[in-house]
Structure 1
Amino acid sequence: MRGDPFKPAARVAGQRADVWTIVNEAAAASPKQPIVNMGQGFFGYNPPEFVVNAAKQALDKVECNQYSPTKGRPRLKKAIADAYSPFFGRTLNPDTEVTITTGANEGMLSAFMAYVEPGDEVIVFEPYFDQYISNIEMPGGKVVYVPLHPPENGATQTTSAAEWTLDFDELKKAITPKTRMIVLNTPHNPIGKVFSKEELQKIGDLCVENNIIILSDEVYDRLYYVPFTRIATLSPEIAALTLTVGSGGKNFYATGWRVGWLIGPENLIKYVSAAHTRICYSSVSPLQEATAIGFEQADKEGFWEQSKKEMKGKMDLFNQIWDELGLPYSDPEGGYFVLVNLARVQLPSDYPFPDHVASRPRDFKLSWFLIKELGVAAIPPTEFFTDQNAHLAEDWLRFAVCKDDKVLEDAKERLRGLRQYIK
């Protein structure tokens, strides 16, 4: 006879408290209210007016309130194909090379569900977006981790995010006959690294040599401050193995819309579309329509360059506090996160950390301390590392700058309270 019917599946049972739970717990208990949230990477302001208006107008259309085709609304697929064809150097076919998903995360899950079977291995670079791991494990895949190494002098001076490096000997050793996919993230969360053309070429060549699918998570592809290369553009052989992931939420400041897509060759995309259909059938119709209009009008509105300029301005504005305090950071090449090294911050030896924080790496204690004592929330990046490699990031914290300038100034004022703890 079967045992406890309420026993959860192993994939969700026995998990330790995740970073979001711990940060929210600290925020709720902090005497410094309201908390300045520099933690989770959602925007502190609305999408541009032309995109918001498109969403409002879409709700008035009967067809936009009903099911969309499972592979996405034709208008959105065409808008994405039109917008990305110049980057890919050829005309993308919206019907066979683009599929729309319920956010980039569900798109990546669909890719794993399409190609990963029990026992297959997927290489992921540390630090990683935490959803990668569960998405790979659900179809029975095994995650193989390869770390990005921080700059040697990152604790003593400000460095470039480019200085977080991939050891290609480690990558080569991680490849086995069971390796099915490699997950790439550029611009990178949380580091802000934009992989160079040379790095991407080496990764791509290894994948071609070993017949490995590349899942290139490029959701921050409109926010780069140095030259940005898309791995699928390096050669026809690399393109044939590459699925490129995009996000309307990241592009248009609308992370709650959950509109994502994948671009890739027909023989790869069709199975991703098939998995997506079985996971959620179709994605939100009016917001697909609004995202399509956003792409159609973005160039005319000058939105892409304005978006990049404004985010770089926010990054520079916020990072003034670290220069002022003499704390080094990893200067981002893209995205809207910055990693700050707090090795010089001396936490009180008798500080009453709860057990589930005290047992975690130092960055969890730093995060808890900043929330409780200064009222500023930031994310401990060791959450995105294996325990084996957590030491690489235990002195860093991740701050999201996609907030109103007033919020950034408030955060800076509160962070000046760190002075008394800097040794």
Structure 2
Amino acid sequence: MHDIRAIRDNPAAFDAGLARRGLPGLSAEVLAIDETRRARILAAETAQADQNRASKEVGAAKARGDTAEFDRLRALVAEKKAEVARMTEEAAAEDARLRDLLMTIPNTPLPEVPEGRDEDDNVELRRWGTPRAFDFTPREHFDIPGVKPGMDFETASKLSGSRFVVLRGAVIRVHRALAQFMLDTHVTDHGLTETWTPVLVKSEAMYGTNQLPKFAEDSYQTTNGWWLIPTSEVTLTNTVAGEILDDAALPIRMTAHTQCFRSEAGSAGKDTTGMLRQHQFEKVEMVSITRPEDSLTEHDRMTACAEAILEKLGLPYRTIVLCTGDMGFGAQKTHDLEVWLPGQNRYREISSVSTCGDFQARRMNARYRPAGGGKPDYVHTLNGSGLAVGRCLIAVLENGQQADGSVDLPAALHPYLGGRTRISATGDLV
């Protein structure tokens, strides 16, 4: 959420930042509500002062037997009391209007974020690995003979409808191995703290990480008001909600492996085959809580953590920085990792790593106490996939496929599979 004081002090900068996202200037609307709110607050304070002054004079008028003045002052006290209540109520209503509006306005991009309208304007930073040259036409993951016995969309559709999958046998073993490998790497090599969190959260948590109110249709809500998390960014980040942290506690670096749930609203017709875009999936998430001056360095560090997973698995990828028109709602700057999928003959997103500045911290009221003393300041929050497990499974299967329908698995996974190295053409782990 944006700082209203910063908008008051420099509305032109606020509008310029939003203009880079293709949004019209909103400062006039924001400041009009803010001005009305502040006027009501001032009116309530003035009426309260008048009420207090008249209340003191009531006793004096009564003591000197001035009945007319006593009655006038008592009526004035009642009038000012009603005015205080009315102005306070109107101020609260304007405050709610202001908060509701600010909650729907996206973060402003950092100056170094490239200009652009959509994904076509994203900028490639680097590539790693060389896509394999196949001596046969590579298949998509769901068409690989050795994978088909363990990837059942028909049964999933019978159980739950479209965009679900049932995984069995060798395929689910590899899926589980990937998640364990990611967690172990992040904990042992990258120093993240493994965390286990609920997948059901209160609305406050979804507001804190900006899924609400704007993107309610993208998530699932239970009948008793809980929300199913779209990613453990929600739970990990909200662990510091309402806290004032010690400077020495920062940075806080966490990772979690969870089920995730998304309605995929607006994605009709996109990736309808296979398991690239599912309503239920698993991710290993990374979240960092930092001092403001450290957040950009931490952003690069988190990107490197995600890249390391792909490199250990031998999967070619490219790293891009998203343009202003393609960034997520809460991000100031985002790096996407796109892994090579030979079955599609293209790179596809497998991780998105974002720094949000103090945008989420203001929504959550998450602060820290600087080491040198002074007023508590808002922390900066960052989040990123490290990685999306299902998409990583797809990449492993497609890049390791062989002409006979079998799949060679990355060496990094062999210890997690009891020394087995392949999925045979008949779907066995061998």
Larger % of strand: which?
2
TM-score scaled to structure 2, two decimals?
A: 0.25
TM-score scaled to structure 1, two decimals?
A: 0.26
Greater relative contact order (Cα 8 A, min sep 6): structure 1 or 2? 1
